[in-house]
Chain A
Amino acid sequence: MLTCKEVSRLVSESLDHPLPVRRRVAVRLHLVMCNLCRSYRSQMLALRQVIRRYADADDPGLEGAQMPARVLDRIKRALQEQRDRPGEAPLEKP
């Protein structure tokens, strides 16, 4: 019989690679009987879902940080310099 600690580790591992069949069966058996581990499992699945959304830079539902104006200017200057440097500028498109 697996402990909650072992099950929590295996539930996490199952997000990273398929568990061997015997392990999978043992985890399922534990989950049937243990509501704390069931709740942990659903939190882990929810966390993944939420993180994937957070990872999307264009997610319109979340307000995000803005690049500070001084950095925008710095980047524009750097681009300008690179373009003006002889030999470094990209070829004009035909």
Chain B
Amino acid sequence: MTQTDSKAGNPELWVDEHGDALYRYALSRLQNAAAAEDLVQETFLAALKSGGEFAGRSTMRTWLIGILKHKIIDYIRKESRERPTEDLATTDASDETFFDSTGRWRAGFTNRQADPRKMLEHKEFRAMLACCLARLPESLQRVFVLRELENQETEEICKELDVSSTNLWVMLHRARLRLQNCLTENWFSNPKGKD
């Protein structure tokens, strides 16, 4: 199967060539297999509908990922509108997990932290990270995915999710702290992480 075949209107071949990559892309951002499957399907259908539009502007993969990216951002925006969660910028209690009442780090919190770069070398890491992302409260997950995985600017995210920039910064901070903490916990409970 060649790129030419797929471009010449063999959309079933697109699915074989790019299905897994698109699925991984969606799954890493949504932590929800059913939603990821649906968005990948919509992406292929949209690609088919737009027919020859691709016409060598970029690689097939980049073109499809570009369509999927929009679908994911739409999905997150819609979810946040339809299923608003509590305002974690103001009500989250996780600060006490990390800091004592004088604002100092709780004993041993940062110096026992694992270096994510070392974790990356282990093949279980991707699953570990996915699991930690999935454990974030939904509202933190959404802002974190848009900011760190989709690399959107904070102004864009504020507009899309209708939050103030101050709230967004607080939420991103909480997401990062929790994620780092979760990764560390998983890492040290995994025998391979102990070296």
A and B: interacting chains: yes
A8-B173, A36-B111, A52-B148 known; A78+B41 contact, CB < 8 A:
yes
B95 within 8 Å of A by Cβ? yes
Complex formed: what's the CA distance from A1 to B24 in Å? 45
> Does residue B28 face the partner (Cβ distance < 8 Å to A)?
yes
Residues of B within 8 A of A91 (CB): 51-52
Task: Find the A residue at minimum CB distance from B68.
Answer: A57
Q: Please, how many angstroms separate the alpha-carbon atoms of A52 and B114 in the complex?
A: 18
Given contacts A72-B19, A75-B19, A79-B48, whether A49 and B147 have CB atoms under 8 Å apart is no
Chain B: number of interface residues, binned into ranges: 35 or more
User: Taking chain B's interface residues, is the majority helix, strand, or loop, or is none over half, making it mixed?
Assistant: helix
Q: Which residues of A contact B28 (CB under 8 A)?
A: 54-55, 57
Contact partner of B15 among A42, A54, A65, A75, CB < 8 A?
A75
30 CB-based A-B contacts, threshold 8 Å: A4-B99, A4-B105, A9-B170, A13-B169, A16-B147, A16-B169, A17-B169, A43-B110, A49-B116, A50-B119, A50-B120, A54-B28, A54-B129, A54-B149, A57-B65, A62-B123, A62-B126, A63-B123, A64-B126, A65-B27, A71-B41, A75-B41, A76-B15, A78-B45, A82-B45, A90-B48, A90-B50, A91-B51, A92-B9, A93-B51
Q: Chain B residues in contact with chain A, CB under 8 A?
A: 8-9, 11-12, 15-16, 19-25, 27-29, 37, 40-41, 44-45, 48-52, 61, 65, 95, 98-99, 102-105, 109-111, 113, 115-117, 119-120, 123, 125-126, 129, 147-151, 154, 165, 168-170, 172-173, 176-177, 179-180, 183
